[in-house]
Structure 1
Amino acid sequence: MQRYWLFSGRFSGYSLQSFQKDLLSGVVVGVIAIPLGMAFAIASGVKPEYGIYTTIIAGFLISLFGGSKYQIGGPTGAFIPILFGIVMTYGYENLLIAGFFAGIILFLMGVFRLGSLIKFIPRPVTIGFTSGIAVIIFVGQIANFLGLTGVEKHETFYRNMKEIIMHIHTINLYSVLTAGICLGTVLFMPKFFPKIPSPLIGLVLSTVVASLFYPQQIATIGSTFGEISSALPQFKVLEMTFEHIQTLIGPAFVIAALGGIESLLSAVVADGMTNTKHNSNRELLGQGIANMITPLFGGIPATGAIARTATNIKNGAVSPLSGMIHGIVVLVILVLFSPYASSIPLASMAPILMVVAWNMSERHVFYHVLKTKTEDSFVLVVTFLLTVFVNLTIAVEVGLLLAVVLFTKRMSDMIVTAKALPNPDNKHEKVESQMVRDDHDCPQISIYNVEGPLFFGAAGEFEQSIMNRLNYKPRVLLLRLAKVPFMDTTGEAYLSRIVKDFSKYGVVMISGIRPQPKSMLKKTGLYGYIGKEHFFEHTGDAINFALQHLKRDKCLGCKHFAFRECTVLSGAHENVKEKERIVTTS
């Protein structure tokens, strides 16, 4: 059991060469993670070292216990609006408690095997809130990029925009120059030196330029947040009360939900890049463990980081050891070089986050969905706007609700109930709806082709379409359900109403019913009520059975000839014979 938990085949065939690859990728990703960890922490409203603590502890634990061989965990941009809102509303200490609760929720999601639920979240919703988060992050860094002073941070987007506009006259050209140096390095260096971590180089280069040529002219990490300590993160017991649970369980669920979505999406990306398969439930367990332990050392919530995971793979990682090494590398750098980090300008951090926001915006996918001009486009836009102008929680809730309602509407539109008769011109006498006409319709046998799922969104329409046409009270009602793939209890209830109402004066028969609807009818007892003898595999057998239960006197003289047997049943063949006899006698 222990071997399964820690290794589970993820280190099978591991060699010294594999370790060398993991070491290289771990070092590269670790170096990249440092500026990102600090930037995400600052943008979330907490001290930069808390982002480093998160990178170290959560990064190590997610790789150790998670379900993906290549996942790199840590603070991410997706969490910024949520964490900033929690810090503004409840404070940093309560953020740690909310993160701990989120870890418990994630762990329980893994225990109860809810990892597969990620596939039920519609893509327009994920693209909508991801793009919205990207806009919030980007706009949130404008003040630092321009070096604006006197700007207060708010939880809402429009108030932050108002602050920027009100203080735009305080622009600092030294900040703009510093940010421009870092931005240019981040954007253009990968084209010439793709293996070198451009965010770190941009950070170092712009910091050196600012320190040498215009010190004291721009805000730095040290001047804003104080010196970054090189001490190791200290264990701290969180003070949790019942009031904390009541207050923070809502934010915890939001953190857990977003963390689960982000980590599993990242794992899916890693699968696509490596042609492997992650264990989604184990990934949630690992995320849960990491988010329960990290707050005990002052770290903020963490999840799988798509960009860092992709970088890990591109640099040759072969096992989870690369992720663990990445955490150790960050720890070593914290101990050795943290005093130097205090002189990093905030203007140097801003373009790094702006590029992260630009990359995570998925603008091409956003435009692709938008130009389809479908219900998905509507869900996308609503989710995006609510994320930016309200908050992520409301955006996801409304986005999911809209997606469900629109999906239900689409599915209900798929239900087709049409009266039908055999086509005598068809070789197999296929039962078709276009055969029914005013002068060609059996008064005693009503056949209906039913197509589409018979569920709560379509059951009412199904019942009305049949009951409204049965006012002439035929003898037999034959429902062809071969194209009904699914039936829920609501669909069964409406079908039951049709059956029980019609059974007062006629016989109900069903042909071609599929396994799931058949199972539903058996569970509710409707199958027994209709009678096993009234269920048929083929429509032809059902029609033959129905013809035997007609009122023959009503067939006499009928001129509809809906079935080939009608010539005999209506007595038309007797008239033909009588005419032939008269002609012969004459």
Structure 2
Amino acid sequence: MARFLLDRFSGYSIRHFQRDLTAGVIVGVIAIPLGMAFAIASGVKPEYGIYTTIIAGILLAFLGGSPYQISGPTGAFIPILFGIVITYGYENLLIAGFLAGVMLFIMGILRLGSLITYIPRSVTIGFTSGIAVVIFSGQIANFLGLSGIERHEDFLSNLKEILLHLSTVNPYSVLIACISLSAILLMPRLHPRVPGPLVGLVLSSMAAATLFPDKAATIGSTFGAIPSTLPSLAWPEISWSSVAQMIGPAFVIAMLGGIESLLSAVVADGMTGTKHNSNRELIGQGITNMVAPLFGGIPATGAIARTATNIKNGAASPLSSLIHALLVLLVLLLFAPYASAIPLASMAPILMVVAWNMSERKVFAHILKSRTSDSLILVVTFLLTIFVNLMVAVEVGLLLAAILFVKRMSDVHSVAQVLPDFSDKHQKVRQHAVQEWRDCPQISIYTVEGPLFFGAAQVFEKEIMAAVRKHPRVLLLRMGKVPYLDITGEYYLRMICRRLHKHGGILLISGLQDQPRQVFMKTGLHAVVGETHMFSHTGEAITAALSMLDREKCRGCTHFAFHECRQLSGLPEKEVAHS
């Protein structure tokens, strides 16, 4: 750890500290309203979002795999966290967060960081866009100031609640929300370096307090006053039954947290030209999510928008993450009582804009327009995220992606009979060279292309067994374009080889790549085929096959599949030429 920190702060100077201080302060100011807003939307008290921001900022500054990463509560967690709170309660949310931290830590220790990046983009865009819809719709009630709203876990029930209570619209809440939204949208154009969410929060709260006090619901009236101290360390009451109950939700939190953290780290790499350590990032996120619940915090992950803001404002090291966390802590200690007066309507536009920005609408439309299997995966994952839940959406999305991937790989696989093409000066083997009148009765040559795995093995077996039933003397398989062989493909190759041997035939193989060759060695198939029957090049294999022919059967044959056939046939030159 000491060496890791020394590497990160090698050549560090006062100028670097000034850059970190500026970036840290700006990101910290942005993180305050976001932390509270994400916590409220997740169904917990706003201070829990603040606690998470502080803990994540401090720990990831020392433990993270990216020097520019800013971690904390994010919008992506809102649907799953709210579902846990409403179904199992806040205490079980702490247990789920802790278990998710353990899972992330183990993933990092087992060096599984790179595996998370293999999740198809259509799945991540699908559930991210779905989450955006859920977040946006979940803030409509606060934006309009609706009263008597009962929050539900599923999207349709929440939408029904909004429609049933539209008559309770509070014009003061709408005005407050519009002031906040206007500031959020205008500040990037007027003063790009000034955080729009904070300005919107302050302006709309001041307007509410001076012009129409007590006319709209506030944080204090809804959740109680925000304490100006950090909570004491408290171990969640964990039991085997609670662990068994929360293991599924915890897995979703871990996967979502891992995906978002590594995506954020990749964004940081692209902006800075650096390279993050994915496994260290997972370990750091794991420890953070194990510690946060001990202080009442909710799950945290890498925040793409805050990380990008950190870099844009000149961050030079992980110290900017530490500074942002300490600023949030200072604000909590000094100004917590004032935060209680913030109207909920002031925070609704912040989350709505977050949802709009995370919706990936352009990428969504691009994938949809492609009209490929990825379009289907995208739509299914998107709809399941909205109308069922994130856990089901991710599971079904990944399963569908795997099935369609196997189907695509099966379509790539091909088996074709070939013979030397005499019109080619190099006499390369071609499929069109095989004709009814030109097909060697003793030697069958097949080119196999594409991965030979469980999804394509039966097609391969069907084609080759048709040739085996003709009882050729030699069957030559050209496997130079087979990059991958699994145990199912190995089984069919073994079965074909034994069937040939049973009828006195011989199997030759040419061009075997490294991975299939390793499978041959590990399973003992190389011994079944015979080391002397495996060749690097097709030409060598054909020469060997010709030496294995039954010369008696060649006499009088007029197929002339190979140049040597003219001599082997024993026919007079004139008759050969005529044929």
Fold-level match, TM-score > 0.5? Answer: yes
Structure 1 equivalent of residue 436 of structure 2: 438
Instruction: State the alpha-carbon separation in 2 of the partners of residues 37 and 77 from structure 1.
Output: 10
Q: Which amino acid aligns with 1:458?
A: A
Matching residue within 111, 123, 126 for 1:125? 123
Q: Which amino acid aligns with 2:301?
A: T
CA contact (8 A) 1:446 1:478 kept: yes
CA contact (8 A) 1:63 1:73 kept: no
Structure 2 equivalent of residue 398 of structure 1: 396
CA contact (8 A) 2:418 2:434 kept: yes
Instruction: State the alpha-carbon separation in 1 of the partners of residues 284 and 577 from structure 2.
Output: 88
Instruction: State the alpha-carbon separation in 1 of the partners of residues 517 and 53 from structure 2.
Output: 54
Higher alpha-carbon deviation: 244-253 or 341-350: 244-253
Structure 2 equivalent of residue 584 of structure 1: none
Aligned residues: CA RMSD:
1.3
1:305 Cα deviation from its structure 2 partner: 0.5
Instruction: State the alpha-carbon separation in 1 of the partners of residues 110 and 100 from structure 2.
Output: 15
Q: In structure 2, the residue corresponding to 1:572 is in which secondary structure?
A: coil
1:577 Cα deviation from its structure 2 partner: 9.8
Q: Which amino acid aligns with 2:460?
A: F
Q: Which amino acid aligns with 2:468?
A: L
CA contact (8 A) 1:57 1:294 kept: yes
Structure 1 equivalent of residue 101 of structure 2: 103
Structure 1 equivalent of residue 20 of structure 2: 22
Instruction: State the alpha-carbon separation in 1 of the partners of residues 100 and 183 from structure 2.
Output: 37
Q: Which amino acid aligns with 1:500?
A: R
Structure 2 equivalent of residue 582 of structure 1: none
Q: Unaligned regions of 5+ residues in structure 2, if any?
A: none
Q: Unaligned regions of 5+ residues in structure 1, if any?
A: 580-586
Structure 2 equivalent of residue 350 of structure 1: 348
TM-score between both structures, scaled by the size of structure 2: 0.98
Q: Which amino acid aligns with 1:222?
A: G
CA contact (8 A) 2:45 2:223 kept: yes
Instruction: State the alpha-carbon separation in 2 of the partners of residues 556 and 138 from structure 1.
Output: 82
Higher alpha-carbon deviation: 394-403 or 109-118: 109-118
Structure 1 equivalent of residue 545 of structure 2: 546
Q: In structure 2, the residue corresponding to 1:148 is in which secondary structure?
A: coil
CA deviations 1:179-233 (Å, max 9, x no partner) are 0111011011110100001100000001111111111111111111111111222
Structure 1 equivalent of residue 452 of structure 2: 454
Structure 2 equivalent of residue 274 of structure 1: 272
Structure 2 equivalent of residue 583 of structure 1: none
Instruction: State the alpha-carbon separation in 2 of the partners of residues 576 and 263 from structure 1.
Output: 76
Instruction: State the alpha-carbon separation in 1 of the partners of residues 431 and 486 from structure 2.
Output: 26
Q: Which amino acid aligns with 1:485?
A: P
Structure 2 equivalent of residue 232 of structure 1: 230
1:470 Cα deviation from its structure 2 partner: 3.3
Question: Does residue 429 of structure 1 match 2:421?
Answer: no
Question: Does residue 242 of structure 1 match 2:240?
Answer: yes
Q: In structure 1, the residue corresponding to 2:484 is in which secondary structure?
A: coil
Structure 1 equivalent of residue 159 of structure 2: 161
CA contact (8 A) 2:444 2:467 kept: no
Instruction: State the alpha-carbon separation in 1 of the partners of residues 294 and 514 from structure 2.
Output: 52
TM-score between both structures, scaled by the size of structure 1: 0.97
Question: Does residue 34 of structure 1 match 2:22?
Answer: no
Q: Which amino acid aligns with 1:27?
A: V
Structure 2 equivalent of residue 571 of structure 1: 570
Instruction: State the alpha-carbon separation in 2 of the partners of residues 287 and 540 from structure 1.
Output: 56
Structure 2 equivalent of residue 293 of structure 1: 291
Question: Does residue 523 of structure 1 match 2:522?
Answer: yes
Higher alpha-carbon deviation: 268-277 or 247-256: 247-256
CA contact (8 A) 2:468 2:496 kept: no
Matching residue within 217, 220, 237 for 1:219? 217
CA deviations 1:264-303 (Å, max 9, x no partner) are 1100110001010001111111111111111111111111
Instruction: State the alpha-carbon separation in 1 of the partners of residues 23 and 576 from structure 2.
Output: 94
Instruction: State the alpha-carbon separation in 1 of the partners of residues 128 and 308 from structure 2.
Output: 18
1:472 Cα deviation from its structure 2 partner: 2.1
Instruction: State the alpha-carbon separation in 2 of the partners of residues 476 and 552 from structure 1.
Output: 13
1:8 Cα deviation from its structure 2 partner: 5.4
**How many equivalent pairs are there?**
577
Q: In structure 2, the residue corresponding to 1:503 is in which secondary structure?
A: helix
> Which of structure 1's runs of 4+ aligned residues deviate more than 6 A?
none
Q: Give the alignment of 1:378-389 within 5 angstroms.
A: 378-389=376-387
Q: In structure 2, the residue corresponding to 1:9 is in which secondary structure?
A: helix
CA deviations 1:109-151 (Å, max 9, x no partner) are 1111111112211110000000000000000000000111111
1:572 Cα deviation from its structure 2 partner: 2.3
1:414 Cα deviation from its structure 2 partner: 0.8
1:469 Cα deviation from its structure 2 partner: 3.3
Q: In structure 1, the residue corresponding to 2:117 is in which secondary structure?
A: helix
Question: Does residue 409 of structure 1 match 2:410?
Answer: no
CA contact (8 A) 1:481 1:510 kept: yes
Matching residue within 80, 89, 92 for 1:91? 89
Instruction: State the alpha-carbon separation in 1 of the partners of residues 493 and 389 from structure 2.
Output: 43
Structure 2 equivalent of residue 255 of structure 1: 253
Instruction: State the alpha-carbon separation in 1 of the partners of residues 577 and 274 from structure 2.
Output: 80
Structure 2 equivalent of residue 496 of structure 1: 494
